[in-house]
Chains A and B, each alone.
Chain A
Amino acid sequence: MQAYFVKKLLMLPLILLGVSFIVFVSIRALPGDPARLMAGPEATQQAVDDMRVRLGLEQPLPIQYAGFLMDAVRGDFGTSIRSQKPVSEELASRFGATMSLAAVAYFFATLIGVPAGMAAAVWKGRAPDQIVMIVAILGASVANFWLALIMMDYFAVQKGWLPLLGMGGPAHYVLPSITLGLLPMALVARMTRSSMIETLEQDYIRTARAKGLGAFRVYRRHALRNAMIPIVTIIGLNFGGVVGSTVVTETIFNWPGIGRLLVDAVRFRDYPIIQGVTLLAVVSVVVVNFLADLLISVLDPRVRFG
C-alpha cells in the first residue's frame, strides 16, 4: 500500500520530464514566431532577428531545452517573453485564483450532484430521476462559454444581481463556479445514480432493510459509502477536464487565474509561460488523483493498489 503511493510520488518527476518535453516540442512546432509577434508587423527582418537573439530563441532547440531543464530543477522556469517577469512569480499570483474557483465549483458540484444522483437512484424511473437525468444531460452537453454569456447577460446585466467580471467577494464566485462546475456536477450525479442503483441491488442492502433499518439510514450508511468509490474516482479523473475548462471560464469572466494567463501566453507564443502553466496544471492533476486514490483506500479498506 505505502509502496504504491511512494512509487506514485517517484513517478511524478518522470511524468513532468515527459510532459515538459512534449510541451516544449509541440509549442515550437506550432507555426507562429514569438520574435515576429513581439517585434510587430512593421518590423524589418533585421529587427525580428535582433528580437530573436534578445529572447534567446536563436539557439538550437536541444540547447534551449537543456537550458530550460537545468533552470527548472533549480525552480527557475524562465522569464515571460511579454511581461518580462519571472514565470514562477506570474504563476504564484494566479494559481490560488484558479484553485479557489475550481474548489468552489467542485464543492457545489459534489454537494448538489451526490444528493441529486441519490434521489434519482432511489426514485428510479420516476419524476425525480427523469428531472435529474435531463438536467445532467443538459449540463454535460451545453457549451459552457455559451451558458456563461447567457447567465452574465441575465444575472449581471439585466437583473444586476451578481457582479459581471473579476474576482472579489463570494458573489463573484457564483457565475464562474456554475460555469465550471456544471459538467462535474452532471458527471457526479450520473455516476452517483448508476453506482447507487447497482449497490441498492446488493444482498447486504436487502439484509440491512430486513433487519429493520430505516430507508434513509440504509441509503446513507450502507449504500452511499460503497457507491462513493466510483464517484471519487470520477471526480479525480475529471479534475484534468476542469483545469482545462478554466481556460474558457477565466477568459470570459476575467478571472485572474492560470487559464486566462495561458490564453494570453498562447496568443503571443510566450513559450516560458505556456511551459510553466502546463507543468503546474499537470502537477495539480497528478496530486488530485493521488489524493483521490488515498481517499478511496480510506473509504474502502479492502482496496489495495499494487
Chain B
Amino acid sequence: MTNRPIFSKSIRTALMASSVALLALGAQAETLTVMQSEAPRSMDPADQTATFTQVVLAPMYEGLVGRNSDLAIVPLLATEWAPDDTGLVWTFQLRDGVTFHDGTPLDAAAVVASFERLLDPARGLAAAGRVAAVLESVEAVDDMTVSFTLIQPYAGFIDLLATAVGYIVSPTADAAGTLGTNAVGTGPFSFVEWQSGEHVTQTANPDYWGEMPTLEGLEFTWTSEPSVLSMAAQTGEADVVNPLPPIFAQTVEADPNLTLIDQPGSAMFWVSLNVLDEPLDHVAARQALNFATDRDALVSALRRGYAVAANSPLAPTNPAWDASLDPYPYDLDRARALLAEAGVPDGFSMSVAVQEPEAPIAEALQGMWSDIGVDLEVRRLESGVWVEAAFNDPEAKAEDGLSAVIASWSSGSFNSDLQFRPLYSTGAWAPGGANLGFFTSEALDAIIDEAAAELDEDARNALYVEAQRIVNQEAPHVLLYSNRDLAATSANVEGITMLPGGLILVANATKSN
C-alpha cells in the first residue's frame, strides 16, 4: 500500500512537467503550427508538383506574379509586364532592392537561371514539363528586365507563373545543388530546418521587401492518419490542419475553439474508362455508366455534403465552368437502354484500380452499377502500385485486364488548359500524360489547341464550354464530384487564405493569445 502514493505522485510530477512544457510553448505563441496529410517532397519548388508541398514552400518563395486572397493576379517580384503583339514574347520589369535569403540580389540573371534550369532536360526536375511545354527561351534584356519567348501564344502563361513552378530560386543555392533540401527564396519567411520525418521550420525574414509578417515563425508537420489531423486541431497541437477530412467538419464547426475553412475547391474526382476495352469502346456503354451513377448520393455519403456533384470536367471554381450543363441525371432506365444500344443489355464485367483513400468511391459505384447488371471488380492498390497500374500504356493495361481507374485531378490553377490537355488530349495518353483511358477526339484536340492560344478571356472560355460539352457527350470519364476544400484552424488564428485545390497561404496569418 505504501507504494501507491509514490506512484501517483510521480504521475503528477510528469503531468506538471508536461504542463510546464505547454506554458513554455504559450510564451512563443507567435509560431504557427500547420499539420497536413502528407510530407513535403522537396524544398525545390521545381522538383515537385504536390499541393501540400507548395503550402510549405509558399511562405519562402515568390514568383514574378502571385495571387491574392481574392484570387486576382498581383505583382510580386515583377512590378509590371506585358506581351508583345504576337503574344509570343512577354517582358517583365523586376522589383528593385530585393535579395534572396542568402544575400544574393534578385536581378534578371537570377530569373533567367531560375527558368533555364527547367528547360534543361539533364536536370530532370519534376515540374519541368509544365514550363518546357510552353517556354522556348528566357533572356535578360537588361539588369532588371527579363523577356520570355513562348513556343506558341499561351493564354495560361501568367497563371503558370503564379504557381510553384514559377517561384524564383536563388541562383547561388541552385548552383550549390542544395536547393532540394534547403529552400532559398525571397519570401517573408526563410528556411530554418527540414527534418524529413518530422517538420519544416521557418522564421520571419527581417530583410523582407514587402510588408513584414506578424508571425515569428512557422512549423509544418504532417500525419498520414486522418483522425490524428482532427485530434491535433482539437488539442491545439496544430494551429492549422489541412485538409480536414469531411467526417470531422461538423465536429470542428461545433467547437468554439476552432474555425472551419470551407470553400469550393478545384479537385475533380472521376473514373477514367479505358476506351480501348470492350464494351467501353462503345460510347453508349460509357454513357450508361454515367446515367447509373447517383452523384448526389456519393456527395452526401462520402463527403458529408462537402462536395459538388460534377456536371462537367471543370469544377465550379474554374472561370470557364458552365452551370447550365446537366448531362447525366441519375436515370437507370436510360442507362439500361444505352446498354442495350451498346450490345450488352444484361450488363458486363469490368475492373477498376483505386487507392485506399478513394476505395469507398469504388465500393459505392460497385453497388450502384450492379443495378444495371455491371459487375465491378474493385482493385484496391497501395499508392505506388496504383500509379504504375494507372499509368500503364495500352498494351500493359490490356494485359493487366484493367478497364478503369479512379483518380482526382486538380491543376492547382485557373487555367482550363491544365485540366483538359493532360486528361483528354490524344498527346497525353498514359504513360506520358494522365489520359489514362486513351480517349481520342480530333474535335477536342483542336479546341484545346485553339483555346490555349486565344488570349481573349471571354472567347477562350466559350471554347472551353464547347470542350466541356464534348467531354460530357463522349464520356471518357464518369465524372463524380469536385471537393469543397476543408481546413481547420484554432479560433485565435486569422488571415489564412485558401486557394482552390487545398492550397492554404499562411504567411500573412496572425495568431492572438
B-side contacts of A30, CB under 8 Å:
384-385
Q: How far is the CB of A146 from the nearest CB of chain B, in Å?
A: 11
B348 part of interface (Cβ distance < 8 Å): no
8 Å CB interface, A76-129 against B:
80, 82-85, 90, 93-94
**Which of B21, B39, B130, B196: most chain A Cβ within 10 A?**
B196
Among residues of B, the one whose C-beta sits closest to the C-beta of A267 is B383
B387 surroundings in chain A (CB, below 8 A)? 32-33, 36-37, 41
Residue in A closest to B16 when the chains form the complex, CB atoms: A171
A82–B195 Cα distance when bound, in Å, is: 12
Can you report 6 residue pairs joining A to B where beta carbons are below 8 Å apart? A42-B129, A47-B128, A85-B181, A166-B237, A170-B18, A256-B197
Query: Interface range on chain B: under 10, 10 to 19, 20 to 34, or 35 or more?
Result: 35 or more
Residue of B nearest to A259 (CB): B197
Q: Is B49 an interface residue (CB 8 A)?
A: yes
Cα A251 to Cα B221 in complex, Å, equals 12
**Binary contact track B189-203/A, C-beta < 8 Å → 1, others 0:** 000001111100000
- Give the distance in Å from the alpha carbon of A94 to the alpha carbon of B17 in the complex: 24
Assess whether B126 is in contact with A43, with CB atoms less than 8 Å apart.
yes
Chain A residues 1-53 with CB under 8 Å of chain B are 30-33, 36-48, 50-51, 53
Check if B198 sits within 8 Å of A256, measured CB to CB.
Answer: yes
B14 lies within 8 A of A157 (CB): no
Category for how many chain A residues contact B = 35 or more
* B42, chain A: closest CB distance, angstroms: 7
The smallest C-beta distance from B39 to any residue of chain A, in angstroms, reads: 6
A218 touches B (CB below 8 Å): no
Which of B14, B17, B389 has the most chain A CB atoms inside 10 A of its CB? B14
Q: Tell me the bound Cα distance from A153 to B197 in angstroms.
A: 23
B27 within 8 A of A: no
B319 is an interface residue with CB less than 8 A from chain A: no
Given contacts A171-B18, A257-B197, contact A267 B384 (CB under 8 A): yes
| Chain B interfacial positions (CB closer than 8 Å to A) | 14-15, 17-18, 21, 39, 41-42, 47-50, 121-124, 126-130, 180-181, 194-198, 221, 223-225, 227-228, 231-232, 234-235, 237, 382-385, 387-389, 391, 422, 431-434
| Contact among B126, B127, B227 with A149 in the assembled complex (CB-CB below 8 Å) | B227
B388, A44: Cβ atoms closer than 8 Å = no
In the assembled complex, which residues on chain B have CB atoms less than 8 Å from the CB atom of A251?
Answer: 223-225
Cβ-closest chain B residue relative to A39: B126
- Any chain B CB within 8 A of the CB of A269? yes
Residue of B at shortest CB range from A50?
B124
Chain A interface residues (CB < 8 Å from chain B): 30-33, 36-48, 50-51, 53-54, 80, 82-85, 90, 93-94, 149, 152-153, 156-157, 160-166, 168-172, 174, 251-252, 254, 256-257, 260-261, 263-264, 266-269
Across-interface contacts of A41 in B (CB, < 8 A): 49, 387, 391, 434
In the bound complex, residues from chain B placing their C-beta under 8 Å from that of A82 are 41-42, 196
Query: Shortest Cβ distance from B244 into chain A, in angstroms?
Result: 15
Specify which of B17, B18, B221, B384 is in contact with A254 (CB 8 Å cutoff).
B221
> A163 with B126: in contact, given A42-B434, A82-B41, A256-B195 (CB under 8 Å)?
no
Question: Smallest CB–CB gap between A192 and chain B, Å?
Answer: 20
A72 to B: closest C-beta gap in Å = 21
